[in-house]
Amino acid sequence: MELPLDYMTLRVIWWGLVGVLLIGFAIMDGFDMGVAALLPFVAKNDSERRTVINTVGATWEGNQVWFILGGGAIFAAWPFVYAVSFSGFYLAMFLVLTALILRPVGFKYRSKRPGKAWRRNWDWALFAGGFIPALVFGVAIGNVLQGAPFSFDSDLRATYHDMFLGGLLGLFSPFTVLCGLTSVAMLVLQGSTWLGLKLEKGIVRERALRFGLFAALGVILLFAAGYVFIRFSGLGFTVVGSVNSGAPSNPIHTEVVPAAGAWLNNFAKYPWMWAAPVLGFVGPLIAIAGQRLRSDWLAFSGSSLAIVGIIGTVGCSMFPIILPSTVDAHSSLLVWNASSSHLTLFIMLLVTLVFLPIVLFYTAWVYKVLFGRIKTEDLRTNPDLY
């Protein structure tokens, strides 16, 4: 059957769509994680902590839809990527999911008892539910950039070659920790700007904005440090020879090898890609300006642009590589060799064109209805608050 879009075009579209979903997750669920990571530091007593928790209390469940959409899109559009990453990084994924489970349990159970120890312990559980995923997601991106030790056999069965503690300790290196800290700073900035939007004027809001200023500076410095590391460490991979972008998916028919500084080559080849790293630096500056000008929406917009720029920089620098292998040149996953079939991508695109606008419209409507600043007096008068 002749389809309106060729295989190569569909692969590029789905590469972009997965990036959009990951950015959506980082922006929407990112401020949930950022608020949770800030909770023990910006709120000093029970009423302050309840106020901070309720800034995300009405929307955190809906925000996790982006996480499900992103994971589902990777599973359906890039099955090789899903198989290698989710099985090879099993314990890291388990750690993230455990932390994410702590967050809803913390929301629901924290205020069930009045005891100080009970509530303090759940506050730290909420902190873990925000900080740990933010850190591990960044470490995971660092491992994607430096490659993973996996290979395929002739039957396309994947083998992960570093299974000490499930490969968990092997995930951490100076570069991946740098990426993890960048992720934490980025999401803490997102959380602080959200608190600026949702909290009434007062000491808690001022503390959040102060942390946001340091987080914004941290994003700039850590993002710059990542560039310096890649520039002078020679980190990067490149595709050897030509690849048939319209051929059926089969990783073992391509060759990808380490190449010093290759992650920077696309920016010379496609100058428009510089828009991503520029946003990565300009976004935090806009957030700082918004905080100084007491423009909460400007600060939140700047923080969100920083997320777009940083995640976009990773995707643009690696294209068309998705996940390089460090142990087998013929096992790396590319946009051209790791996707689902032509027909599957086309059908999924039609479904996405119908349902993604519905998700976006419904999300916008929910935020419009539920939006408003959380006030201390609401804790006494609103029985629906945590």
pLDDT, one tens digit for every residue, the chain (386 residues): 677 889 999 999 999 999 999 999 999 989 999 999 999 999 988 888 989 998 888 888 888 888 888 888 898 999 999 888 877 777 788 888 888 888 888 888 888 888 889 989 999 999 999 999 999 999 999 989 998 888 888 888 888 876 554 456 667 889 999 999 999 999 999 999 999 999 888 899 999 999 999 999 999 999 999 999 998 888 899 999 888 888 888 888 889 999 888 999 999 999 999 999 999 999 999 999 998 888 999 999 999 999 999 999 999 999 999 999 988 888 899 999 999 999 999 999 999 999 889 988 988 898 888 888 888 777 777 766 77
Q: Are 251 and 173 in contact (CB under 8 A)?
A: no
Within a domain: 178: yes
pTM (2 d.p.): 0.92
For residue 130, the cross-strand partners are: none
Which residue from 301, 304, 309 is spatially nearest to 281, judged by alpha carbons? 309
Q: Token digits for 245?
A: 């972008």
Q: Kind and range of the H or E element at 237?
A: strand 237-240
DSSP 3-state assignment of 150? strand
> 2 in a domain, yes or no?
no
Tokens 């994947």, located at residue: 158
Is 192 part of a structural domain of the chain? yes
In three-state form (DSSP H/G/I as H, E/B as E, the rest C), the secondary structure along 249-277 is CCHHHCEEEECCCHHHHHHHHCHHHHHHH
Q: What is the DSSP letter of 111?
A: G
Q: How many domains does the chain have?
A: 1
Output the pLDDT for position 168.
63
**pLDDT score, position 165:** 46
The tokens for 234 are: 């020679």
Predicted confidence at residue 160, as pLDDT, reads: 80
194 domain residue, yes or no: yes
Domain hosting residue 263, numbered range: 7-381
Is 386 part of a structural domain of the chain?
A: no
The answer to whether position 1 is within a domain reads no
Q: Is 254 left (phi over 0), alpha (psi -120 to 50) or beta?
A: beta
**Any domain includes 346:** yes
Distances 302 to 11, 130, 284, 371 between C-alpha atoms, Å: 30, 21, 6, 20
**Position 105 in a domain:** yes
